[in-house]
Structure 1
């Protein structure tokens, strides 16, 4: 056994273990959390969060202060590896969860930031010995995690609950600081992070977790069973549309209907709206034409395929359109761009239905 551990093969395998662990963990989170977040998932993430807090506090030990001792290099390495593992698990899950709910450019910036920390985490093991640095990342993770957890507990979402998430996370950081007996300077970074995240939320740059867009489309001749008609296209154009390019909708006499489905956990209520934008050919910019919402567009219950909503516009001019599915006066959950054309002749259409 000792010979194997000292072998050249084992040393090569050992070098790739961190990368393999990283991609394996992220893939597992993508497969499991990518489908549906369960209560057990939230509980597991809570354990990671609490464990990272314990190891963070243990790393604060210092002669003459907390615990009045210093750890040996071996024990310090064990604690920093533990923090690295917990932080990596949290960042991995949060990237998946926030990515599923992001649709705006600002929201993607936050996801990219979290993904950047996820990758950087593989190289920060020694840096986690610095209490101030680790406390700052712990506060970022805590705010993002609690912002995901609290809506499941209170059945609602909005700025108040995000502010509460940030406040609780910062309060826990203050508690850890008091226990550590470190300088108050270590709280500057968490306080700054709280301010920046608050501004980002007010700017609708924080994805509206835990809401997730499941499906959306623009169509005509809408029926109450959530079926409607879309233009029939050939195989090549179907692949073109599937790749993300805007489809073309031939307007009907009753106008154009936009249908979308949004997943929300059981009992979480959110007022949704559709924002219709028209690309002004003179300015080349999308202009908001209307915001449409109603009481029937408030999520209720839990449906894995998503809560279905629809809005209709009549007498729509031909051209390029975009519809955002969003929280009322809040962040965008999903968006779709399409072309509307007029036709005097008969256009082949096929039935499309949202689940």
Structure 2
């Protein structure tokens, strides 16, 4: 029993950390809010102050004490808070394989944060983690403030995050450690952005569905879809749509956007061909203005859609992928009932 308690005590920091992660998931908001970003900016400011203090203390070459671990634990807590929140933001934005790999990288850092406490004494690693937090936060913050998702804001925010680390190290007593890895991270992100590896934050997908007979009224959007079967009760909706000749197939999407942002999004319709892969048929645009808590909705439609595998990509003006929805079109009457669903 005592050994079990000791083992549990060993993993308490991990349990607490993931408890905080789940709490952040529930409380950080359904969209990226101003208050969320203020809190994260406060975390970053506290981490910067803590780094300066650690550099100052290191320059004094004081004797080790029992209280020596406290600043490192505080820094660990701050980095953990930043990583967990940023991971939640990015996982909400990521909707395809490359972007999910990116968020997986954040997840690895989030978990590793619990096991590298002693390594914070290595100032180079500390600067690197701080720089990554600063860059990722600025990637959200600058487009949010400017009300624009133009690619220039991503590059400027990435440079600003790296520049913050440089400036902080310049004023830190003794200038401990190196910040070369921070500039390397900034360069990698700058190269990854045009490859569509990084989600187009701060746009966050709320919902995307395809169906028949779009109905609108009193601010509500409804679609007619095939009902789930008892064998697939764990799914909210089927990914199959039965259509007859002449019917329209609608795609309705809901996307969170910063207040004041005005941009144009696109529904990129594609079908799967065994020889050619995904083949584009149409790229239809619709306007988006940010600020609505429930997400801003837009829709497009196609008529006489052929049977087979399809997908609709929500894209920005510059081709950045916000979300992907895959489904299968089957010709003929459905073998199950149809139901109306609300689009969030």
- TM-score w.r.t. length of structure 1: 0.86
Q: Matched residues in 2 for 1:187 and 1:161: separation?
A: 23
Alignment-derived partner of residue 99 in structure 2: 107
Alignment-derived partner of residue 125 in structure 2: 133
Cα deviation, 1:102-124, whole Å, max 9, x if unaligned, reads 00211111111111011000011
Contact map agreement 2:250 2:301 (CA 8 A) in 1 = yes
Provide closer, same or farther for how the CA distance between residues 264 and 84 of structure 1 changes in structure 2, counting only shifts above 3 A: same
SS across alignment from 2:314: strand
Larger mean CA deviation between 215-224 and 80-89 belongs to 215-224
Which of 319, 323, 326 is the matching residue for 1:337? 326
Task: Note the 1:1-355 alignment, pairs <5 A.
Answer: 14-61=9-56, 66=59, 68-70=60-62, 72-180=64-172, 186-225=178-217, 226-232=221-227, 234-237=229-232, 239=233, 241-242=235-236, 246-251=239-244, 253-283=246-276, 285-293=277-285, 297-343=286-332, 349-355=338-344
Per-residue deviation, 1:259: 1.1
Provide closer, same or farther for how the CA distance between residues 73 and 166 of structure 1 changes in structure 2, counting only shifts above 3 A: farther
Provide closer, same or farther for how the CA distance between residues 233 and 174 of structure 1 changes in structure 2, counting only shifts above 3 A: closer
Provide closer, same or farther for how the CA distance between residues 132 and 347 of structure 1 changes in structure 2, counting only shifts above 3 A: closer
Contact map agreement 1:76 1:129 (CA 8 A) in 2 = no
Contact map agreement 1:292 1:311 (CA 8 A) in 2 = yes
SS across alignment from 2:270: strand
Q: Matched residues in 1 for 2:222 and 2:139: separation?
A: 35
Cα deviation, 1:6-36, whole Å, max 9, x if unaligned, reads x989866643331222112101111112523
Contact map agreement 2:267 2:313 (CA 8 A) in 1 = yes
Provide closer, same or farther for how the CA distance between residues 315 and 71 of structure 1 changes in structure 2, counting only shifts above 3 A: farther
May I ask how many residue pairs the two structures share in their alignment? 340
Q: Matched residues in 2 for 1:25 and 1:197: separation?
A: 28
Cα deviation, 1:292-314, whole Å, max 9, x if unaligned, reads 11xxx232142222111111112
Q: Matched residues in 2 for 1:222 and 1:245: separation?
A: 17
Q: Matched residues in 2 for 1:29 and 1:346: separation?
A: 42
Per-residue deviation, 1:155: 1.2
Per-residue deviation, 1:56: 1.5
Alignment-derived partner of residue 4 in structure 1: none
Q: Which segments of 5 or more consecutive residues in structure 1 lack a partner in the other structure?
A: 1-6
Provide closer, same or farther for how the CA distance between residues 348 and 124 of structure 1 changes in structure 2, counting only shifts above 3 A: closer
Cα deviation, 1:143-189, whole Å, max 9, x if unaligned, reads 10111122221111232111121111111111122123667981221
Per-residue deviation, 1:262: 0.9
Contact map agreement 2:229 2:336 (CA 8 A) in 1 = no
Cα deviation, 1:205-233, whole Å, max 9, x if unaligned, reads 11122222222211123344433322345
Provide closer, same or farther for how the CA distance between residues 335 and 69 of structure 1 changes in structure 2, counting only shifts above 3 A: same
Which structure: greater strand fraction?
2
Larger mean CA deviation between 217-226 and 308-317 belongs to 217-226
Q: Matched residues in 2 for 1:104 and 1:200: separation?
A: 15
Q: CA RMSD in A?
A: 2.7
